[in-house]
Amino acid sequence: MTDSNDPLRVIPTDAPPVGACRKTGDFVPPLTLMGEHDLCPGCGEPLALRQILDSIEDTGLGQKAIGVIGIGCYTALTSLMDIDLIQALHGRAPSVATGAKRMRPDELLFTLQGDGDMVNEGLQEVIHTAARGENVTCILLNNGVFGETGGHMTATTVLGQRTKNSIEGRDAGEHGYPILIGDLLARLQGTAYCARASVHDAKGVARTRRFLDRAFESQMKGQGFSFVEILTMCPTGWFIPTSEGPDYLDQELGAVHEVGELKKDGVLIED
């Protein structure tokens, strides 16, 4: 904007400089009431939520979306989400979303659940919701651990993973095998779209956004049940330094829960 002939602009010294000393909390993304959260440093859940809200906003569904939220660390994020929400019980978001969708068929209905919520407590709900071909989108934030209680084993915890109640690492003989929920849901006839993404690097974040866009599009086209699993970092619950979270996700969780699209337009995507 400045012209080379303009005199040098003098910044007034009797007021704080504009644009200086901005905190992260000063930046507020769309559909968000506050720019800061109380989750741990290195947590992947706010990254995933940002992609969800951006996807809703950019696809023009900001005033047509209803979220149904499970119980976990991410529940704390509801106070900053500027969309209509229903808070469900632990594990019960898919049934609540079902009832809401039947009464509001034109609205985008999605659930936000963790692995403890969806794959432990409420496994039968998400399976039956998918099998009914319910026209909702279930979003799983999968970090393979009960983060809110401080790092306990869930149904998606991978073999060898150390948690507070599998202190020597998850052992198949003692604790059983992890459930690959995305693979399970993809094989149900009522599932139209199914994908697994991660937020451990920029490429993963972009892919997460792409999969969310496709899931929401599938729902708005009335194709049936859609599912997006997002692998998220939990350095606190993994008992590792914050900076090692992305690599741990990629090499441990991601090696078992493989990232990629599993079903599109009702058709399974084979390797």
Partner 1 sequence: MSAPERRLMEGSEAIAEAAIAAGCRFFAGYPMTPFTEVLECFAKRLPEEGGACINSESELEAIGQAWGAAATGARAATGSTGQGLSLMQESMSEITRAEIPIVIFNMARGQGDYYQATRGGGHGDYRHIVLAPQSVGEAVEITQLAFHLADKWRHPVVIYGDYLIAHTAEAVGIDRLDFGPLPDKDWAVDGSLGGTGRSRNVNPIGMEKGSKGIDPNRFWQNLADKEDEIAVAEQRFEAIDTEDAELLIVAFGTLARFARAAIRDLRAEGIRVGLFRPISLWPFPSAALRRAAEGCTRVAVLEQNAGQMIDDVQLSLLGSVPVVPIGGISTDAAGFGIGALLDSDLIAGRARDAHAGRPVPRGVVA
Binding site for partner 1 (CB under 8 A): 30-31, 33-34, 38, 56-57, 62-66, 68, 75-76, 78-89, 92, 94-104, 107-108, 124-125, 128
Q: In the complex, what is the shortest distance from the CB of residue 117 to partner 1, in angstroms, rounded to a whole number?
A: 13
Phi, psi of 223 (to 5 degrees): -75, -20
d(CA 230, CA 149) in angstroms, rounded, equals 20
Burial class of residue 181, CB neighbours in 10 A (0-12, 13-18, 19+): buried
Instruction: Provide, rounded to whole angstroms, the least separation between the CB of residue 157 and partner 1.
Output: 24
Minimum distance, C-beta of residue 112 to partner 1, in the bound complex (Å): 13
Which residue, 96 or 181, is less far from partner 1 as judged by CB?
A: 96
> Residues 237, 146: contact at Cβ < 8 Å?
yes
C-beta of 75 vs 166, nearer to partner 1? 75
Backbone angles phi, psi at 115, to 5 degrees: -70, -35
> Are residues 125 and 91 in contact, defined by beta-carbon separation less than 8 angstroms?
yes
Question: To which residue do tokens 């866009």 refer?
Answer: 213
Minimum CB separation from partner 1 for residue 178, in Å?
24
Q: Which is nearer to partner 1, 123 or 256 (CB)?
A: 123
Q: Least distance in Å: CB of 100 to partner 1? A: 4
CB closer to partner 1 out of 97 and 180 = 97
Instruction: Determine contact, residues 180/254, Cβ cutoff 8 Å.
Output: no
**Backbone torsions φ then ψ of 95, nearest 5 degrees:** -70, -40
Q: 20 or 33, CB closer to partner 1?
A: 33
